[in-house]
Amino acid sequence: MSRKRTSRTFIWTISLLMIFTFVGCQQLSVSKLQANYSFAKANQLFKDAKYSKAIVEYEKAVKHNPKLNDAYRFLGESYKNLYIPAKDTPENKEKATKALEALRKAYETDPNNKDIIYSLGDMYDRLRNFDEAEKMYLRIVDLEPGNMNNYYIIAEFYKRYAADKKELKTKVENMYLRRIETDPENVQGYAYMTDYYDKLPPGEYKDKFDNALDYVKRRQALEPNSAVVYYTIGVNRYGKAYTLQNFLSQQEKEAIAVESEKSLLRAIDLDPKWPEPYVWMRILYINIHAKIFPEKESRYMELAGQYGQKYDEARKEQLDRIKLEKELKKTG
């Protein structure tokens, strides 16, 4: 073969390669454009809560661009939004399966994405798959140990299963404690722990009132002049005196009642415009003081009426303030 002919053959081969490469790139570019178009359209449908229509567009997006990970994520979210927990129908089960498939695909591609992990954990949670949901939620804590909200998310997750799994109560407490240990100067951690104990049924936790009080006192060390803290102590002591009145001695009742009264009065001193302490003073005098100090019953009932009136006045002032603030916002 002559050198000239060889040269022509080589040029022709290169030209063909260039043509096919160009066509391939064009097709690839068009596919990406189609994927992006469908993805953008799907996002708007998702935002408008039109999940069935969004699914159609997300599926088009991943068909044209299988590497578009966010499309898998929101495809899963769309199916999840259509899924109805505990509804046992083939159609509903299929939605759950599709949601898991898409979210797992997104997770495989981006295993450190907290939003994807949380969404997948939430889907397992809706399916009451405790073990898989727990794995996902704990992974979030591993990735972001300094994010306080993560501990609350897991604590609330454990609380949903605590009725069936008694051992989870310890895990709930541990999550709240980890939150406190992560940022011991943040009062919110103590507030959540207090609320957790306060809401436990008395039969399930013998010392719930005293345990709650312990965390209020820790918070008090950080906020010594907080009306909310004193109010919380007052309500906590009332709760113990009222709930356990058949199990406490007269001396114990008197001591708890006095502590509740002092704390509520201190809350009023610190914030006299706040209505809530007044109403609890009324309740305290009617339900506790009038009963454990019967010789002063008429006096306490009279005081209860006065504090009820003070509550009405403070509440009216509060509502007037709120109304004025709303009107100022409108004019501003």
The per-residue pLDDT for range 224-236, each reduced to its tens digit, is 999 999 999 999 9
Note the pLDDT of residue 331. 77
- Maximum mean pLDDT: which of 65-74, 98-107, 153-162: 98-107
Q: 251: which 2 tokens?
A: 């001396």
pTM of the shown model? 0.74
Q: Is the pLDDT of residue 311 over 70?
A: yes
Note the pLDDT of residue 289. 96
**What CATH number matches the domain at 33-144, 1.25.40.10, 1.20.210.10, 3.30.720.120, 3.55.50.30?**
1.25.40.10
Q: Is the pLDDT of residue 282 over 70?
A: yes
Note the pLDDT of residue 83. 95
Over the stretch 21-65, which tens digit does the pLDDT of each residue have?
433 444 446 678 888 889 999 899 999 999 999 999 999 999 989
Q: Is the dihedral of CA 73, 79, 85, 86 positive or negative?
A: negative
More confident residue, 29 or 103: 103
